[in-house]
Amino acid sequence: MESSRPLPFAMHRRVFASQCFAIILFCLLPVANTHAEWLLVEPNSNAPDPFVVYVDSESIATKRDRMTVRVLLNMRHRTDDGVASVIAVDEYDCRTERMRTHTMTSYADIDGKGAVVREFKTIGDWVKIGAGKINEAVLDSVCPEYTPK
Protein backbone atom coordinates (compact mmCIF):
# COMPACT_ATOMS: atom_id res chain seq x y z
CA MET A 1 0.00 0.00 0.00
CA GLU A 2 1.52 3.29 -1.11
CA SER A 3 1.09 6.51 0.77
CA SER A 4 0.35 9.73 -1.06
CA ARG A 5 2.51 11.67 1.41
CA PRO A 6 5.95 12.72 0.22
CA LEU A 7 8.91 11.06 1.79
CA PRO A 8 10.63 13.01 4.60
CA PHE A 9 13.71 13.43 2.43
CA ALA A 10 11.65 15.00 -0.35
CA MET A 11 9.98 17.27 2.18
CA HIS A 12 13.35 18.55 3.43
CA ARG A 13 14.44 19.15 -0.14
CA ARG A 14 11.41 21.37 -0.77
CA VAL A 15 11.98 23.37 2.42
CA PHE A 16 15.66 23.74 1.56
CA ALA A 17 14.82 24.86 -1.98
CA SER A 18 12.32 27.46 -0.76
CA GLN A 19 14.83 28.78 1.79
CA CYS A 20 17.50 29.05 -0.90
CA PHE A 21 15.05 30.88 -3.16
CA ALA A 22 14.24 33.35 -0.35
CA ILE A 23 17.92 33.97 0.36
CA ILE A 24 18.68 34.57 -3.31
CA LEU A 25 15.76 37.02 -3.60
CA PHE A 26 16.95 38.86 -0.49
CA CYS A 27 20.47 39.15 -1.92
CA LEU A 28 19.12 40.59 -5.16
CA LEU A 29 17.24 43.41 -3.41
CA PRO A 30 18.84 46.81 -3.94
CA VAL A 31 21.10 47.76 -1.08
CA ALA A 32 20.52 51.21 0.38
CA ASN A 33 23.49 53.53 0.27
CA THR A 34 24.42 54.26 3.89
CA HIS A 35 26.75 57.12 3.05
CA ALA A 36 25.34 60.60 3.48
CA GLU A 37 25.48 63.05 0.59
CA TRP A 38 27.16 65.92 2.47
CA LEU A 39 26.95 69.22 0.59
CA LEU A 40 29.06 72.19 1.63
CA VAL A 41 27.12 75.19 2.92
CA GLU A 42 28.78 78.48 2.07
CA PRO A 43 28.33 81.19 4.74
CA ASN A 44 26.47 84.38 3.76
CA SER A 45 29.21 86.57 5.17
CA ASN A 46 32.97 86.82 4.77
CA ALA A 47 33.58 86.42 8.50
CA PRO A 48 35.49 83.21 9.25
CA ASP A 49 33.48 80.59 11.08
CA PRO A 50 35.07 78.26 13.63
CA PHE A 51 33.75 75.32 11.60
CA VAL A 52 32.87 74.14 8.09
CA VAL A 53 29.20 73.23 7.63
CA TYR A 54 27.64 70.55 5.44
CA VAL A 55 24.03 69.39 5.02
CA ASP A 56 23.01 65.84 4.20
CA SER A 57 20.92 66.40 1.07
CA GLU A 58 19.41 62.93 1.34
CA SER A 59 18.07 63.62 4.85
CA ILE A 60 15.99 66.70 4.04
CA ALA A 61 12.38 66.06 5.05
CA THR A 62 9.51 68.48 4.49
CA LYS A 63 6.50 68.93 6.73
CA ARG A 64 4.43 71.94 5.69
CA ASP A 65 6.68 75.02 6.03
CA ARG A 66 9.30 73.16 8.05
CA MET A 67 12.36 71.28 6.92
CA THR A 68 14.34 68.78 8.96
CA VAL A 69 17.93 68.10 7.94
CA ARG A 70 21.11 66.46 9.23
CA VAL A 71 23.94 68.96 9.56
CA LEU A 72 27.66 68.20 9.89
CA LEU A 73 30.00 70.74 11.47
CA ASN A 74 33.73 70.05 11.12
CA MET A 75 35.70 72.21 13.54
CA ARG A 76 38.63 74.13 12.11
CA HIS A 77 40.40 73.47 15.43
CA ARG A 78 39.56 70.79 17.98
CA THR A 79 37.75 72.30 20.98
CA ASP A 80 39.23 72.23 24.49
CA ASP A 81 36.98 69.30 25.41
CA GLY A 82 38.11 67.28 22.37
CA VAL A 83 35.30 67.88 19.86
CA ALA A 84 36.38 67.76 16.21
CA SER A 85 32.95 67.46 14.60
CA VAL A 86 29.24 67.57 15.37
CA ILE A 87 26.30 65.94 13.62
CA ALA A 88 22.94 67.49 14.45
CA VAL A 89 19.38 67.04 13.28
CA ASP A 90 17.95 70.53 12.94
CA GLU A 91 14.46 71.73 12.09
CA TYR A 92 14.02 74.94 10.12
CA ASP A 93 10.79 76.92 10.03
CA CYS A 94 11.04 78.39 6.55
CA ARG A 95 8.31 81.04 6.91
CA THR A 96 9.34 82.52 10.25
CA GLU A 97 13.10 81.99 9.70
CA ARG A 98 13.83 80.21 12.94
CA MET A 99 15.38 76.87 13.85
CA ARG A 100 15.72 74.36 16.64
CA THR A 101 17.92 71.34 17.21
CA HIS A 102 16.41 67.88 17.71
CA THR A 103 19.60 65.92 18.40
CA MET A 104 23.29 66.72 18.53
CA THR A 105 26.23 64.34 18.79
CA SER A 106 29.82 65.56 19.18
CA TYR A 107 32.69 63.39 17.93
CA ALA A 108 36.43 63.22 18.60
CA ASP A 109 37.29 63.04 14.87
CA ILE A 110 36.17 65.00 11.82
CA ASP A 111 33.25 63.92 9.61
CA GLY A 112 31.26 62.57 12.57
CA LYS A 113 33.74 59.77 13.26
CA GLY A 114 35.64 58.59 16.29
CA ALA A 115 34.50 58.40 19.88
CA VAL A 116 31.33 60.19 20.96
CA VAL A 117 32.32 63.10 23.20
CA ARG A 118 28.75 64.04 24.17
CA GLU A 119 25.21 63.60 22.95
CA PHE A 120 21.96 65.56 23.31
CA LYS A 121 18.58 64.12 22.38
CA THR A 122 16.27 66.84 23.66
CA ILE A 123 14.47 69.13 21.24
CA GLY A 124 15.71 72.66 21.80
CA ASP A 125 13.80 75.92 21.82
CA TRP A 126 13.09 77.82 18.62
CA VAL A 127 15.79 80.39 17.86
CA LYS A 128 15.44 83.27 15.40
CA ILE A 129 18.07 83.04 12.66
CA GLY A 130 20.30 86.09 12.52
CA ALA A 131 21.49 87.70 9.30
CA GLY A 132 24.99 86.69 8.26
CA LYS A 133 25.07 83.66 10.56
CA ILE A 134 25.82 80.17 9.29
CA ASN A 135 22.28 79.04 10.13
CA GLU A 136 21.02 81.60 7.61
CA ALA A 137 23.06 79.83 4.93
CA VAL A 138 21.63 76.45 5.99
CA LEU A 139 18.13 77.95 5.91
CA ASP A 140 18.78 79.25 2.38
CA SER A 141 19.96 75.81 1.26
CA VAL A 142 17.01 73.84 2.67
CA CYS A 143 14.26 76.47 2.18
CA PRO A 144 15.21 78.22 -1.08
CA GLU A 145 11.63 79.05 -2.10
CA TYR A 146 10.89 80.81 1.20
CA THR A 147 13.95 82.92 1.83
CA PRO A 148 13.95 86.47 0.48
CA LYS A 149 16.76 87.21 -1.96
- pLDDT per residue over 39-70, tens digit each? 999 877 676 778 899 999 999 999 888 999 99
Looking at every residue in the chain, the average pLDDT score rounds to 80
pLDDT confidence band for 8 (50 / 70 / 90): low
Of 91, 93, 86, nearest to 101 (Cα)? Answer: 91
Of 89, 86, 35, 78, nearest to 58 (Cα)? Answer: 35
Q: Which of 28-42, 50-64, 91-105, 110-124 has the lowest mean pLDDT?
A: 28-42
Say how many C-beta atoms besides its own lie within 10 A of residue 126's C-beta.
Answer: 12
Domains of the chain (ranges plus CATH)? 38-142 (2.40.128.710)
Gap between the Cα atoms of 19 and 115, Å rounded: 40
Average pLDDT over residues 79-93: 96
Residue 35 sits at φ, ψ, to 5 deg, of -90, 135
- Side chain identity, residue 38: W
Please check the confidence at residue 3 and state whether its pLDDT lies above 50. Answer: yes
DSSP-assigned letters across all residues of the chain: ---SSPPHHHHHHHHHHHHHHHHHHHHHSPPPP-S--EEEE--SSSSPPSEEEEEEGGG-EEETTEEEEEEEEEESS--TT---EEEEEEEEETTTTEEEEEEEEEEEEGGGEEEEEEEE-S----EEPPTTSHHHHHHHHH-TTTS--
